Amino acid sequence: MNHNQIGEQGALALARGLVGNSTLKKLDLRDCDIGTQGGIALARALENNTMLEELDIYFAVSPGREGWVLSPVGWAIFFDSLKNCALRDLNLGGNTVGNEQITPLVEALDTMTSLAKLNLRGLDITPSGWITFFSLMLRPGCIFERLGELYIYDNDITDDIMISIANALVGNTSLMTLDCFNFQGNITEKGWSAISDVMCNKRSIHTISDSNHTFCNGLSLGGSPLVDELQELNKGTNKAEVIR
């Protein structure tokens, strides 16, 4: 259904259908003008839907507009409605999710026990907001302990954010893909060193063994040859090779 202007009324009708859904597993509403009430109704329909596994609302507005606009209250309602839903794949990219929405977003994500893939591309979150986001990923039982793929590219990624990401990766055994590549070139050796250190802490044989040997995709893309090399090593099944 992507790239169709179904409008708010269309989204409301779709939401009513989702309440009794027993077959639909994927819903793609990219570049659809679903409107404020339509989006909230869709989220509320997911409260009682155990079948839908993939929801894509990337730029959930008509082409050429700036992203799905919700008030802070609207986003809070939207995220609250997603709590405990059965989604495995969620794309929120390109919409007006900002710093104020980080706490309700993370609170919802923490309850989504099936979620394995999350796309937060091109949001309105500032560098300080991303640092807050990844600091919340340090809590026991949070979504970061289950998530396999996280996409945050097309955001303003800085060295301090990379350090926050590195802190969140310590001890993580689930996240394999983290795509935060940005074309503004804001990541320097300081940021890359934080990532390479968590992937291979060379202080001792024990710290090397305890380093993150799960993360293996998407981060450097040529920005750091060392991080690229460590990612390739982590793709292998022989973890003794990484230690060596």
Whole-angstrom distance between the N-terminal and C-terminal Cα of the chain? 50
- Which are the contacts of 29, defined by CB distance < 8 A and separation ≥ 6? 1, 2, 6, 11, 42, 55, 56, 57, 60
Q: Give CATH for domain 1-124.
A: 3.80.10.10
pLDDT score recorded for residue 15: 83
pLDDT score recorded for residue 74: 80
Question: Which stretches of the chain drop beneath a pLDDT of 50?
Answer: 62-64, 183-184, 242
pLDDT score recorded for residue 8: 78
Question: pTM, whole model, 2 decimals?
Answer: 0.84
User: For residue 234, what are its two tokens?
Assistant: 């982590």
**Residue spans per domain, the chain:** 1-124, 126-133+161-244
Q: In whole angstroms, give the CA distance from residue 140 to residue 236.
A: 28
Q: In whole angstroms, give the CA distance from residue 218 to residue 147.
A: 15
pLDDT score recorded for residue 88: 96
pLDDT score recorded for residue 89: 97
Tens digit of pLDDT for each residue in 92-104? 998 889 999 999 9
Tell me if residue 58 falls in helix, strand or coil.
Answer: coil
What are the C-alpha distances in Å from 215 to residues 21, 128, 192, 206? 36, 24, 14, 18
Tens digit of pLDDT for each residue in 194-224? 888 887 766 555 555 656 566 666 665 557 7
Q: In whole angstroms, give the CA distance from residue 191 to residue 189.
A: 5
For 225-228, which contacts have Cβ atoms below 8 Å and span 24 or more sequence positions?
226/192, 226/196, 227/192, 227/195, 227/196, 227/199
pLDDT score recorded for residue 137: 94
pLDDT score recorded for residue 63: 46
